[in-house]
Structures are given as C-alpha cells and as structure tokens.
Amino acid sequence: MSTFRPSLAIEQHRQPLLAILRAVIAAPTFSYADLYQLLRQHLKVTSEGRRFFAKDELIAAYRAFTASGDLPPFDPAVLERLRLKPVRTTSGVTVITVLTKPFPCPGECIFCPNDVRMPKSYLRDEPGAQRAALNSFDPYLQTYTRLRALHNMGHPTDKIELIVLGGTWSFYPESYQIWFIKRLFDALHDFGRGIDRTEEVRALLESDSLAQFKPSAELPDRAVHGAQLERTYNQLVTALYAAEMQRSREQAAQVQAGILPRTPITEYATWQELEAAHRENESAPCRCVGLVVETRPDHISTDEVLRIRRLGCTKVQIGFQSLDDQILRLNKRGHTVAATRRAVRLLRAAGFKIHAHWMPNLYGATPESDRADYQRLFSDPDFCPDELKIYPCSLIESAELMQHYQRGNWQPYSTETLIALLADCMRATPEYCRLTRIIRDIPSTDIVAGNKLTNLRELVEMHLAERGERSRDIRAREIRGEPVATESLQLDELRYQTSIGQEYFLQFITAERRIAGFLRLCLPDQALQPLHPELESAAIIREVHIYGQALGIGQEVAGKAQHSGLGTRLIERAAQIARQSGYTRLAVISAVGTRAYYRSRGFADGQLYQVRSL
C-alpha cells in the first residue's frame, strides 16, 4: 500500500468526506441533486460553524484517499462527477488564457477601449484581465496560478492550449515575445513536476518597483475619455510606463552582454533557450497542445508567420472586424481589406488555424450591410476562417466612438435587431467553422450603450429553434460529454476552395451530425512557391481535434471519443487524399506537446513542421 497520507485539513474531516465519496463511487449515475443531498447529510463542522464541503475540497480528498489506499484506485469517471464547471474541458483540451503587458498599439480604432491599465482593447473588469493584473502580467504567474485553479477544480492539466491575448502581439519587441513564451513553458514544466516558484517570482516583483507593470489605484483617474480624447492610449501608456519600458530594454541588453545576471522577471531569453523548453515539453507531464497569439492583418508578412511558427504557435487570432474598406476607414482601423486577404493567404499557406474577429454594428454599418459583409466571410475564397468571434460593437466610455454617439451619428442596434442579425449569421456559418463567441466578455457596468445580455448566444439559438432551425457551426455540434459509440460514427468530407488551393474538412459525425472529431487538410496549389522548404510538394494538416471531455495523456474511457483511434483514422484518410491528389509529402503544423503523437504516426521532425513521406 502507498505510504501517502492525506493532509491535516483532510484528516480533520475524514469520516464525513469518506462517507460522501463512497456514496459517489457507488452510484455511477450520480446527479447534482444527489450530491446536494449528500452534502446536507454530511456537513463540515468547524469552529466557525457548520457548512457544506466545497467541490474542490471533495476533489482534493478523493485524490488523497485514493492515493493513500483508503478508497479504491483512482477512477476518472468519479472525478468527472465531482468536477467543477466541466464545460471548460469538454472541447477536448484545457484552455489557459494569459495577457501581455500594457504596451503601445499600432491601431487607432474608434471602437476600441482605452484602459491604460491593460493591453490595448482590454478592460480591467474582464475576468481574464483581472487575473492578469493580479499577477502583474507575468507569464509564469498567470499560467501557474491558472493551472493550480483548474487542477483544484478537477480538470486534467496535461494537455493545455495556451492563448496569448493583448494588443497586437507582432508589435511587441521580439526579446519580450521569446521570454514571454518561454516562461509559459517554464510554468507548465514546474507545475507538472510539482515545483512551485510563484512566491519567488512575486518576491522579485515586489522588490523591484520598475521590473514589471503594477497599475496603481491612481490610474483610473488618468484614463482616456473618448468624448474628449485629449491624449491617446499610446501617449498615456508611453508616459505612464516610460521608466519601466526603458528599464526592461536596458536589463535585457545588459543580460545579453553578460553584464547583469538574469532573474525570472528579466524580459530576455534566447531562441536556443526557447527551443530547449520546446524539447522538454515534448514529453513533459503538462504539455502544450496548442499555442495562440493575437495580431492585426497589416502586421502579417512571410517573415512574421515563420517567426510566429518558430515560437511554437499553431493558431492566430486576427481582427478582420469588417470586409468593407469604407467601414474600416470610418472606424480608423488602419488597414484595408487587401491587407486581410494577404494575411489570411500567408497564414493558411503556413498551415496556421485562422481565428478571425468580426464586428457588426460598427460606425457606418447597418444590419443589411452587416449581413452582406458576413456572407463575404465564407463566400469569398480569400477568407473562410476556421474559427470566428463575433463581437457586436458596444460603446465603452474610453473609446473615441463616444464622440459619434454624442453627436447622434452612431446608435447600437436594438436587442431584437441584433438577435435577428446574429441568427442570420449563424444560418450562414458553414460546418467547418467554429463560432467561439458571439459577445465580448465585457461587464455590463463598462458598457455605455449596446448589448448587455450575457446569454445572447442562448437567445439567438432559441430564436432559431422557434423556427425549427439550429446553427451548423462546430461549437453547436460538439458531442461534449455525451457518450459516443465510435463504430456508429460516419466520416463526412467537406471540400471548399480557398485563396491558395483546396481545403478538406474531414469530420466524424453522428447520424444527427453531432461532431466527435475533425481534421483540416490544405492542398496548396503546387504552382505556388511554398513559404518554407519543408512544405515543398506537401499537403498540410492544419488541425486535428477530437471532442469530448478532455482525458489525460494515454487515458482511455469507454464511450469517450478521445483516445479511441479517431485521430489516427483521420490522419490516414488525409494521407490518402493527399497521395491521390499528387502530393509526395504530408506536413503537419504540430504543437510542441503533440510532436511525439505525430512521430508515432510516421511523421519526422523538421525545423518548423513534421513531415511524412507519401
């Protein structure tokens, strides 16, 4: 038997905890109501009185008592019954979102918030932004504390998708970018090994007042006000953080020259150090299976997409906002539709997943023009995004749009108009696209005018259901936690034209077209010059994704889509299509943590891609 002993806090409440957990183990169809009744019967008695045990306490006790031998061996199905917010990992991976520090932005969009405590376009009151501020925008602290919280809520933490948001990623100094990404991997590795360096990092931040951003309580009084706009976000951020920015540059230069020793908060790392972290992550307990950054179309070039790829990125969030040059100009977006076309072409040619942002109700738009604009997203081969966030324009006090609102030149759509418009957008969304969001997660207290309904997607889906319709997008069709018999799934193939060639969307679906897994295969026009030598004569797998509750690496559970062989079957079908189409090689834009998976399926390592001979 293991020599493991539960913590003192768990031991103090051993009997009620064991009673609750034994009942949960004995009832495979246990419901939330059943758990509530159990918690009422077995209360936690403390010096402050009696209360319910929290779910994270039950999860910690379950892990402890299975490890100590007081309960039968650990069973993922039991943990699933205890898990908090299971929807966080029912898309197959555990997602962690981090924010970069406040920094000047090349855009001057009139709809964009100007909160100088945050990176451009984000607000202090947004949940992810609050977590970032509490952790001084430090990448290690943001990642580690989120991993710990997810673990305590019962979620698996071995397959992580990292999403890096904040301003325009491509505008940050390269040295900062390399350091930021490396520190994300450092947090994954430390957490996986059970090492916690968060207090060390916090102490360094506290001891060096200029080391990183710690927005003070005074900053709200110095925020940008859209109605007056005496100083822009960039001007204020540059003035407020000038000392920190200069200090960061000097420290990085002195560390690089060997003058100063490096600390965990020194914003400097080398490509070689990052690549070493990548190699470590290939077999780490806590692996990165997706890395996402956010940028603008006018900051995408051939060199940029290859540099982002070298960082380990697999997906790019990119702000289309509109496909109408007049609307872009009125809203001071700072780029044209031609820039968006070029950016998408380059990203797709490099194999990236394309996660677009689109905004209805911009200044100068109408519901009719928005409908036409949305149709272009998928009817024009130059676009066809894989994922999409729809952000209806809301008025924030710090945005320049306030001036147009006060003059009566811009008004938000009514709720009825917005729901009808979004319903039409959902109808026009093809099966290969995932509608990630249809509102921005902005607290209603920050919205001067515009949608404040947090359940807008639900209302739109109800609108469709009342007419006997439903969205066909991926998110609406995910099997999530539903049991699935893999032998009952059928392989469906959808083909469409893009700006660089043919695209295949291969999906395993149920009879009701619920989706259990998919693969995105790009067949580039072979007359085009590949962006990288490893893509010569190669079809490109841009994404393989299996849905259902995220399972641990190598873990299998009956009735779950993950680890049931669907991914391998999709890859083999992609190889067959590529071979029949005249390609001699099959490349994959693999994440660092999935390299071993693809090696076991015949792919060999390259510099930026893994490639399999056909």
Let me know whether 262 and 152 are in one domain. Answer: yes
Let me know whether 126 and 244 are in one domain. Answer: yes
Domain end, chosen from 295, 327, 354, is at: 295
Residues in Cβ contact with 141 at an 8 Å cutoff, skipping those fewer than 6 apart? 135, 187, 198, 201, 202
Let me know whether 251 and 140 are in one domain. Answer: yes
Let me know whether 509 and 434 are in one domain. Answer: no
Sheet containing 315-321, strands listed edge to edge, beginning at the edge strand earlier in sequence? 94-99, 159-165, 287-295, 315-321, 353-358, 387-390, 434-437
- Check the CA dihedral 581-585-590-595 and report its sign: positive
For residue 301, is it within any domain?
A: no
For residue 171, is it within any domain?
A: yes
Write the CA distances from 289 to 69, 398, 550, 594, integer angstroms.
33, 37, 12, 6
For residue 305, is it within any domain?
A: no
Question: For 429-487, where are the alpha helices, taking DSSP H only?
Answer: 456-465, 474-477
**What pLDDT, on a 0 to 100 scale, did the predictor assign at position 549?**
52
For residue 303, is it within any domain?
A: no
Let me know whether 133 and 236 are in one domain. Answer: yes
**What pLDDT, on a 0 to 100 scale, did the predictor assign at position 90?**
57
Let me know whether 247 and 320 are in one domain. Answer: no
**What pLDDT, on a 0 to 100 scale, did the predictor assign at position 206?**
84
Domain end, chosen from 431, 460, 476, is at: 476
Alpha-carbon distance of 290 to 393, in angstroms, equals 29
For residue 304, is it within any domain?
A: no
For the record, the structure tokens of 566 come out as: 């669907």
The residue whose two tokens read 């067959």 is 576
**What pLDDT, on a 0 to 100 scale, did the predictor assign at position 216?**
52
Let me know whether 53 and 180 are in one domain. Answer: no
Let me know whether 432 and 418 are in one domain. Answer: yes
**What pLDDT, on a 0 to 100 scale, did the predictor assign at position 153?**
87
Alpha-carbon distance of 168 to 182, in angstroms, equals 19
DSSP 254: H
Give the closest residue to 385 by CA, choosing from 420, 358, 361, 367: 358
Let me know whether 569 and 450 are in one domain. Answer: no
Give the closest residue to 504 by CA, choosing from 492, 513, 514, 516: 492
CATH number of the domain at 437, please. 3.30.750.200
For residue 307, is it within any domain?
A: no
Residues paired with 496 in a beta bridge: 503
For residue 310, is it within any domain?
A: no
Question: pLDDT tens digits for 434-472?
Answer: 999 999 888 888 899 999 998 999 999 999 999 999 999
Let me know whether 47 and 103 are in one domain. Answer: no
Domain end, chosen from 426, 452, 476, is at: 476
Q: Domain span at residue 608?
A: 478-613
Domain count, the chain: 4
For residue 249, is it within any domain?
A: yes
Q: Are 262 and 562 in contact (CB under 8 A)?
A: no
CATH number of the domain at 541, please. 3.40.630.30
| Secondary structure in 3-state letters for 546-586 | ECCCCCCCCCCCCCCCCCCCHHHHHHHHHHHHHHHCCCCEE
Q: Are 489 and 477 in contact (CB under 8 A)?
A: no
Q: pTM (2 decimals)?
A: 0.88
Let me know whether 22 and 52 are in one domain. Answer: yes
Let me know whether 187 and 128 are in one domain. Answer: yes
Positions of the chain with pLDDT under 70: 1-6, 84-92, 208-223, 481, 548-563
Neighbours of 152 (CB within 10 A): 16
Q: 256-278 burial by CB neighbour count: b if 16+ within 10 A, else e? A: eeeeeebeebbbbbeeeebbebb
Alpha-carbon distance of 409 to 417, in angstroms, equals 18
